A and B are shown apart, each in its own frame.
Chain A
Amino acid sequence: MEWVKRNQITVGATVVVLVAAYVFYGINSNVATSMFSGAWFFAVPLVLGALTGVVGERSGVVNIGIEGQMLVAAFAAFFSASASGSLVVGVLVGMLAGIVMGAFLALTTVKGLMDQIIAGVVINIVATGLTSFFYRPGKVLSANMPQWNVPILSNIPLIGDVFFQSGPIALFALVSVPVVHFALFRTRWGLRTRSIGEYPSAADTAGIDVIRMRLVNVTIGGIFAGAAGAYLSMEATGGFERGMTAGRGFLALAILIFGGWRPLRVFAAALFFGFTNALASQLQGVVNIPQQFITLLPYLLTLVVLAVAAGRVRAPGAVGQPFVKGEGS
């Protein structure tokens, strides 16, 4: 149990949260279930968006274009599903759209050496413009996204209700977190990815192709933002609206930082955001606060969290810096 020893705080915090959640569940199971479900519902696109950020930034490429990636994916997923009449096609096209946008970021910044922040801004602007221009109202999905119950796990009280009785994209998010975490810290790919994001010239001298690896990672990493977009337009709402990501891509960025570029912590951070949001909705009936302030809460929280977290977490060493072979030893 050396692992528990090394991660005392994390383990302790998890236990405390779980106990509190189940105490809450014991007091009022309906309210507890609906609040935690609401939290996870809100957190899914944030987790997915942040995973795109994790893969990109651990490789040394800042991605502030997650918002745009998600928006284009939401658009592509919904309209392809609507046109083809197939939900599967919609989800896959959404993921592909995320990858294509990732490829755009990768090519402009890694190959073209464009400033990474500017490239991200470009993605966001282009995404808003394109999706607004091509938007056609009145389309609908042929069917709602299915609800999957994971055998056995879905029978666990509370956790089963919240996490294991959900749509395919939410389950994809749930599975992706530990998978990416494991890949990042326990596999060859992860070791190399972290090295090119921390100190690329060290990776280069160790014979790793930094440029190619960044290209591939940033491109493939887009799959998560793509899934997040598909989640928003297909699984969460069943419709596309202009600008429907509504800043969630930037929230995902905040969560990425708050979670210290580690998937498991990112997951916890997203749930925390989701929970505050759910709590605010619950409070709406109890205390008399205007609706606008309630919806403001997650964004306000972002501000606070980033102000607090800023000095404490540490970004990958080379994030934002283009790598040019043979330059600077």
Chain B
Amino acid sequence: MSQPAPETATGGSTAAAPETGSATSRSVPQAQRERLLELDGLSKSYGTVHANRDISLHVERGEIVALLGENGAGKSTLVKQIFGLIKPDRGTITIKGDASPIKDPRDAIRRGIGMVHQHFQLVPVMTVAENMILGNETTSRGVLDIDGARRLVRELSEKHGLRVDPDAEVEDLPVGTQQRVEILKALSRSVDLLILDEPTAVLTPQETDELLKVMKELAAGGTSIVFITHKLREVLAAADRVYVLRQGAVVGEVATADTDARGLATMMVGRDVVLRVDKDEATPGEDVLSIRDLVVLDDRQLRAVDGFSLDVRAGEIVGVAGVEGNGQRELVEAIAGMRPPQSGRIDLLGKDITKANPHETHVAGIGHIPEDRERHGLVASYSLADNLVLNRFSEKPFANGFVRDFDAVRQNAEALFTEFDIRAAGVSAPAGSLSGGNKQKVVVAREMSFGPKLLMAAQPTRGVDVGSIEFIHRRIVAARDTGAAVLLVSAELDEVLSLADRIAVIHGGKVVAEMPGKDAERTEIGRLMAGDH
């Protein structure tokens, strides 16, 4: 913290209170303003793809700026250039008036830029203290000063109110705490500008609220923050100003006080988006899925699903709401046949599928949109056409006996491309080449197009852009309307609230409450999710 800071209030926490009638609550008085970062005409291309096109923006001291955009809009590319991980093709980055190119992350750190990456850059088998000093070690006569590192962690965590044990190994810490370590690590390098790349993607709602609070406190203490997100609520809750990116270019800049969720969403996708899902009243039929006293062990052999019972009827969407890690993943895997249950029973249309394998559950009529599409949903190196028949490549009409029918596979792909609005270079392009939203549409198309009796969607819109979210939501409702039973498992409470006809709250591996979706209370569910019942 040795830069010639012009502002007077340093070291204060929330003392620099808002109370100015101005719209942006933390805006610094004009005299104290300092332009910390300025980008001018920044461009970066990969082959023919323009990841960033002529981007100009600026960040003032103590300001929180959000970069909002769909997947593939170029947000990550942009901040990686500011942090020196990627070199821009054209344009300048000016940090505190210094426009010399940023050579590498070390240079960026030296000039006061800190970054918290989407995938944490922490060494899992090392302690918090070791991670804290990595790359910036102090030694005495050649020996690492680990005690000093411990002290540093304690001091910083006290100063910023971010509690963390310096001797804990990073891999043993929950994700939210790991992120805290990342933030502390950045702060230990005396940052002026902290970049957060999708910081809330892995956090629980509680952890998210905590993070947003920390961000505001840091900003009040004079640190500028740039954060990437595609969640509108967070932008409105935390940011002073927002830049909206689309297809690599800035398409809008607005103070958050002058806009709302709808306005931002429209800017992001370039058209009006229906955030609420329009759907008719459900007309549930017979029981399709029936789960009784299910117990499923997780990878550590603990009872992740612990006496779970639930029925899902034809023509209704049942949403399973819960904080991640309460057995949702194991539940879904058990139903899909990917993880054999310890005890209990799963029936599909009266047929016992407790011990079925994934192929058998598909044959029985389950369409499964898995949580991790990269690992369980797609084969990245296979063509899109093949990916679209992964679950039935050996069935008619895609195969005659042992011989595959490539014409049928291609026609199927072409039809689904149109129906599900999949945007790709062609049906023979590898699945790995698509953006997140389009990949998810491929999975959705495959799992919906064979007419499943039960559609099981796990985190169906995670990491997916707003336009695709809207589309996927509409398709889920359409599947319900054609008589499928839908089991929706999502960590996004908003998603569950807007889609589900019935909501089951899961905590500690069992259903703690069930209620109709229509007039479910957000706060009530939040309380139940947190284990308060």
A-to-B contact residues, CB < 8 Å: 186-188, 190-192, 194-195, 198-199, 201-208, 314, 317, 325-326, 329
Instruction: Say yes or no for B57: interface residue by CB 8 A criterion.
Output: no
Is A192 a contact partner of B135 (Cβ separation < 8 A)? yes
Instruction: Please tell me if the beta carbons of A207 and B130 are within 8 angstroms of each other in the complex.
Output: no
* A191 x B137 contact (CB < 8 A): yes
| CB–CB B124/A199 < 8 A | yes
Partner of B121 from A187, A191, A206, A326 at Cβ < 8 Å: A206
Q: CB distance B126 to A203 under 8 Å? A: no
Pair B126/A326 contact, Cβ less than 8 Å:
no
**Interface 9-residue window, one of B66-74, B103-111, B214-222:** B103-111
Instruction: Give the distance to chain A from B99, nearest Cβ to Cβ, in Å.
Output: 21
A147 to B142, CA, bound (A): 33
* Of B112-120, B314-322, B519-527, the one with at least 4 CB within 8 A of chain A: B112-120
Give the docked Cα–Cα distance between A195 and B136 (Å).
13
* CB–CB B143/A186 < 8 A: yes
B85 at the interface (CB under 8 A from A): yes
Q: List chain B residues, Cβ under 8 A from A187.
A: 139, 142-144
Asked if B135 and A206 sit within 8 Å, CB to CB, the answer is yes
Q: Can you list 15 A-B contacts with CB-CB less than 8 angstroms, sorted by A residue number?
A: A186-B143, A187-B139, A188-B144, A191-B130, A194-B125, A199-B121, A199-B122, A202-B120, A202-B134, A203-B135, A205-B117, A206-B136, A207-B104, A208-B135, A329-B119
Chain A residues closer than 8 Å to B80, beta-carbon distance: 326, 329
Complex interface: chain A residues within 8 A of B124 (CB): 198-199, 317
Contact indicator B125/A198 (Cβ below 8 Å):
yes
- Contacting residues, chain A, for B126 (C-beta < 8 A): 191, 194-195, 198
Please name the residue on chain B nearest to A206 by beta carbon: B135
State the Cβ distance, A183 to closest chain B Cβ, in Å.
Answer: 9
Q: Are A329 and B76 in contact (CB under 8 A)?
A: yes
Main SS at interface, chain B = loop
Q: What is the bound-complex CA distance between A318 and B426, given in angstroms?
A: 35
Closest to B139 in A: A188
Q: In the assembly, what is the distance between CA of A314 and CA of B169, in Å?
A: 15
Complex contact B134–A203 (CB within 8 A): yes
- B105 CB contact (under 8 Å) in A191, A192, A204: A204
Chain A residues, Cβ within 8 Å of B143: 186-187
CB of B118 within 8 A of CB of A329, answer yes
Q: How far is the CA of A75 from the CA of B123 in the complex (A)?
A: 40
How far does the Cβ of B131 sit from chain A's closest Cβ, in whole Å? 8
A190 to B131, CA, bound (A): 13
How far apart are the CA atoms of A219 and B339 in the complex, in Å?
Answer: 45
Which of B104, B121, B142 touches A201 (beta carbons < 8 Å)? B121
B115 / chain A contacts, CB cutoff of 8 Å: 205
Beyond A188-B142, A317-B123, list 13 extra A-B contacts (CB 8 Å): A188-B137, A191-B126, A199-B122, A202-B131, A202-B134, A203-B123, A203-B134, A204-B85, A205-B83, A205-B85, A206-B105, A207-B135, A325-B85
Nearest Cβ distance between residue A192 and chain B, in whole angstroms?
A: 7
Q: Is B232 close to A, CB under 8 A?
A: no
Query: CB-CB < 8 A to B76: which residues of A?
Result: 329
A202 with B144, Cβ < 8 A, contacts A207-B104, A326-B86 known: no
Chain A hits for B136, CB < 8 A: 206-207
| Chain A residues within 8 Å of B120, by CB | 202
B188 to chain A, nearest CB (A): 11
B134: which A residues are within 8 A, CB to CB? 191-192, 195, 202-203, 206, 208
Residues of A near B137 (CB, < 8 A) are 188, 191-192
Q: Are B142 and A329 in contact (CB under 8 A)?
A: no
Q: How far is the CA of A314 from the CA of B171 in the complex (A)?
A: 14
Partner of B123, one of A186, A194, A329: A194
Determine the residue in chain A with the shortest Cβ distance to B131. Answer: A202
Closest beta carbon of chain B to A137's beta carbon, Å = 47
Q: Which A residues are CB-close (under 8 A) to B144?
A: 186-188, 190-191
Chain A neighbourhood of B83, CB < 8 A = 205
User: In the complex, what's the smallest C-beta–C-beta distance from B468 to chain A, in angstroms?
Assistant: 22
- B170–chain A nearest beta-carbon distance, Å: 10
Q: For chain B residues 121-155, which have a beta carbon within 8 Å of chain A?
A: 121-126, 130-131, 133-137, 139, 142-144
CA distance A194 to B144 in the complex (A): 14
Nearest B residue to A182 via CB reads B143
A325 to B104 alpha-carbon distance, docked (Å): 11
- How near does chain B come to A197, taking the closest CB pair, in angstroms? 9
Considering the complex, give the chain A residue whose CB is closest to the CB of B138.
Answer: A188
Q: How far is the CA of A190 from the CA of B121 in the complex (A)?
A: 18
Nearest Cβ distance between residue A115 and chain B, in whole angstroms?
18
In the bound complex, what is the Cα–Cα distance between A194 and B135 (angstroms)? 12
* B135: A residues at CB distance < 8 A: 192, 203, 206-208
Min CB distance, A96 to chain B, in Å? 26
Q: Which residues of B contact A325 (CB under 8 A)?
A: 85
Query: How many Å lie between the Cα of A203 and that of B115 in the bound state?
Result: 13
Q: Say yes or no: B106 contacts A207, CB within 8 Å.
A: yes
The reply to whether A202 and B125 contact each other, CB–CB distance below 8 Å, is: no
Contact A205 B105 (CB under 8 A): yes
A326 shortest CB reach to chain B, Å: 6
In the complex, what residues of A have CB within 8 A of residue B121's CB?
A: 199, 201-202, 205-206
Cα separation A242 to B122 with both chains bound (whole Å): 47
Q: How far is the CA of A191 from the CA of B124 in the complex (A)?
A: 13
Q: Which residue of A lies closest to B145 (CB)?
A: A188
For the complex, what is the distance from the CA of A145 to the CA of B139, rounded to whole Å? 39
> Can you name the residue of chain B whose Cβ is closest to the Cβ of A195?
B123
* CB of B77, distance to nearest CB on chain A (Å): 10
| Contact in complex: A199, B123 (CB < 8 Å) | yes
Q: Which residues from 429 to 466 on chain B have a C-beta closer than 8 Å to any C-beta of chain A?
A: none
Within 183-217 of B, Cβ neighbours of A (below 8 Å) are at none
Question: How far does the alpha carbon of A317 sit from the alpha carbon of B124 in the complex, in Å?
Answer: 9
Least CB distance, A217 to chain B, in whole angstroms:
16
Residue in A188, A192, A201, A208 with the greatest tally of chain B CB atoms within 10 Å: A188
**Residues of chain A with a CB closer than 8 A to B142's CB:** 187-188
Residues 7-28 (chain B) with a chain A CB within 8 angstroms: none
Q: Out of B85, B118, B122, which one reaches A202, CB within 8 Å?
A: B122
Could you tell me the distance in whole angstroms from the C-beta of A6 to the nearest C-beta in chain B? Answer: 11
Min CB–CB distance A314 → chain B (angstroms):
8
Q: Which residues of the other chain, A, contact B86 by a CB distance below 8 angstroms?
A: 326
Q: Which 8 A-B pairs have the closest CB atoms?
A: A206-B135, A207-B106, A202-B121, A205-B121, A188-B137, A199-B123, A207-B135, A198-B123
Contacts of B131 in A (CB 8 A): 202
Within 8 Å CB of A190, what residues of B?
Answer: 144
Which of B123, B130, B144 gathers most chain A CB within 10 Å?
Answer: B123
A317 to B123, CA, bound (A): 9
Min C-beta distance of B101 to chain A, whole Å: 16
Interface centre among A191, A317, A326 (most CB of B within 10 A): A191
Residue of A nearest to B137 (CB): A188
- Which of A187, A190, A199 has the largest number of chain B CB atoms within 10 A? A199
Across the interface, which residues of A come within 8 angstroms of B85, CB to CB?
Answer: 204-205, 325-326
A191 CB contacts on chain B under 8 angstroms: 126, 130, 133-134, 137, 144
Chain B residue at smallest Cβ distance from A189: B142
Q: Complex Cα distance A301/B465, Å?
A: 56
Q: Which B72-109 residues have C-beta < 8 A from chain A?
A: 76, 80, 83, 85-86, 104-106, 109
Q: How far is the CA of A278 from the CA of B72 in the complex (A)?
A: 64
Residue of A nearest to B85 (CB): A326
A187 to B138, CA, bound (A): 10
Residues from chain A with a CB closer than 8 A to the CB of B105 are 204-207
